[in-house]
Structure 1
Amino acid sequence: MIRNEGDILQLIRDDKEMMAILKAAKQLHLPDWWICAGFVRSKVWDTLHHFQEKTPLPDVDVIYYDDQQLSETIEKYYEEKLHKILPHIPWSVKNEARMHSVNGLLPYQSSEDAIAKFPETATAIGVKLDNENQLVITAPWGIEDLIHFRIKPTPFFAASRKRMQLYQSRIISKGWKKRWHFVN
């Protein structure tokens, strides 16, 4: 049973592959970094559905915030470094200091600000290893929707008709209810 953030952190601590992924990302020494979205959401939903095999991730989202180095080229460089450490992982590295322009939004203030502006509350979650190698979590909208399989827009997406259209399209394209039948 998953009841709180501590339970989620323990799930991840007990998963050798997830911890290896987190340790690899930490080696980059990125400022304000997190591994987020499906990395956490899929683990929680797979566990709550009692799946024996993990749901394959299309990518592992590593985000960071560096307003001094805004080149997409450096993101690719970091992906290459991660591929050298763990070549079987589908890495995706993004600097949230530049992603607002890609998404047509006002600048984010931090990686956590960007996570808070993800489309769904259940996906607006991240984990990382801190300077003492302790696993930490950020969940700007809490974990209740995640652990109760609720797909809801974040307040940021709910505040705009245009963003809500993107949200609706995304929900349809993801097909989460087909994989995780408890999702509502």
Structure 2
Amino acid sequence: MIHNEEDVIRLISEDEWMMDILRSSQFLNLPDWWVCAGFVRSKIWDVLHEFDERTPLPDIDVIYFDPSNVDEKIEKSYENILMLNHPTIPWSVKNQARMHTVNNDCPYLSSTEAIAKFPETATALGVKLDEGKIVLTAPHGVQDVVNFNVRPTPYFCETEVRLEYYRQRVYKKNWKSVWQKVEVLQNE
């Protein structure tokens, strides 16, 4: 079973495909890097639903924080490097030092701050390798994801515009069609 952060780390450490993705991402040697969002969330939900096969991911999100070079072209070059090792993986590399402009937000101070501002608590997760060990960041904890609860992060509860974006996003994602135990919650 999966109950806490240690269980999530163990789960990932036992998945050779995920470890290979983490090692490939680490190879880029990016500052404040994480593989995040659905990469972590989907694994947890797949295991808790006792799926025999991994649910396909629309992308593998690799984020990092480098205010010294916010040119989007560099992100594409990192994606191309990752594609050399894993040409079938839909890589998405984003420098969080520039993403505040895309999100019409104040500048982020780190990748973890950016993850904390993801729309759902169950998706606000990231993992990386540090000296060979898995590190997990979960700014809002792991209780929502392990209990199948999808709810807006505090940041997305701050304004009606953000809350509406959250509602539209979870409607389009339709996670319950894949993972039947998921419960989508509104602002509570």
- The answer for the alignment partner of 2:173 in structure 1 is 174
**Could you tell me how far apart the structure 1 residues matched to 2:70 and 2:47 are?**
37
**Could you tell me how far apart the structure 1 residues matched to 2:96 and 2:153 are?**
18
Root-mean-square deviation (CA, aligned residues, Å) is 0.5
How far is the alpha carbon of 1:77 from its aligned partner? 0.2
Question: Structure 2 counterpart of 1:15, which letter?
Answer: D
Question: Structure 2 counterpart of 1:67, which letter?
Answer: P
**Could you tell me how far apart the structure 2 residues matched to 1:24 and 1:40 are?**
16
**Could you tell me how far apart the structure 2 residues matched to 1:53 and 1:85 are?**
22
Stretches (4+) displaced over 2 A: none
1:9 aligned counterpart, secondary structure:
helix
Identity %: 56
**Could you tell me how far apart the structure 2 residues matched to 1:183 and 1:127 are?**
22
Equivalent residue runs for 1:55-66 within 5 Å: 55-66=55-66
2:92 aligned counterpart, secondary structure:
strand
Moved more, 107-116 or 81-90: 81-90
Residue segments in structure 1 that go unaligned for 5+ positions in a row = none
**Could you tell me how far apart the structure 2 residues matched to 1:21 and 1:142 are?**
23
2:63 aligned counterpart, secondary structure:
strand
The C-alpha deviation readout for 1:16-41, integer Å capped at 9, x for no partner, is 11000000000000000000000000
**Could you tell me how far apart the structure 2 residues matched to 1:161 and 1:108 are?**
21
Moved more, 65-74 or 81-90: 81-90
Q: Is 1:159 matched with 2:158?
A: yes
How far is the alpha carbon of 1:88 from its aligned partner? 1.4
- The answer for the alignment partner of 1:99 in structure 2 is 99
**Could you tell me how far apart the structure 2 residues matched to 1:24 and 1:86 are?**
9
How far is the alpha carbon of 1:47 from its aligned partner? 0.2
How far is the alpha carbon of 1:162 from its aligned partner? 0.6
Q: Is 1:143 matched with 2:131?
A: no
- The answer for the alignment partner of 2:186 in structure 1 is none
2:17 aligned counterpart, secondary structure:
helix
How far is the alpha carbon of 1:123 from its aligned partner? 0.3
- The answer for the alignment partner of 2:32 in structure 1 is 32
Q: Normalised by the size of structure 2, how large is the TM-score?
A: 0.97
Question: Structure 1 counterpart of 2:37, which letter?
Answer: A
**Could you tell me how far apart the structure 2 residues matched to 1:81 and 1:89 are?**
12
Q: Normalised by the size of structure 1, how large is the TM-score?
A: 0.99
1:31 aligned counterpart, secondary structure:
coil
**Could you tell me how far apart the structure 2 residues matched to 1:81 and 1:151 are?**
33
Question: Structure 2 counterpart of 1:13, which letter?
Answer: S
- The answer for the alignment partner of 1:69 in structure 2 is 69
- Paired residues in the alignment total 183
Residue segments in structure 2 that go unaligned for 5+ positions in a row = 184-188
How far is the alpha carbon of 1:56 from its aligned partner? 0.1
The C-alpha deviation readout for 1:48-79, integer Å capped at 9, x for no partner, is 00000000000000000000000000000000
Question: Structure 2 counterpart of 1:142, which letter?
Answer: G
2:62 aligned counterpart, secondary structure:
strand
How far is the alpha carbon of 1:158 from its aligned partner? 0.6
**Could you tell me how far apart the structure 1 residues matched to 2:7 and 2:150 are?**
20
**Could you tell me how far apart the structure 2 residues matched to 1:24 and 1:82 are?**
7
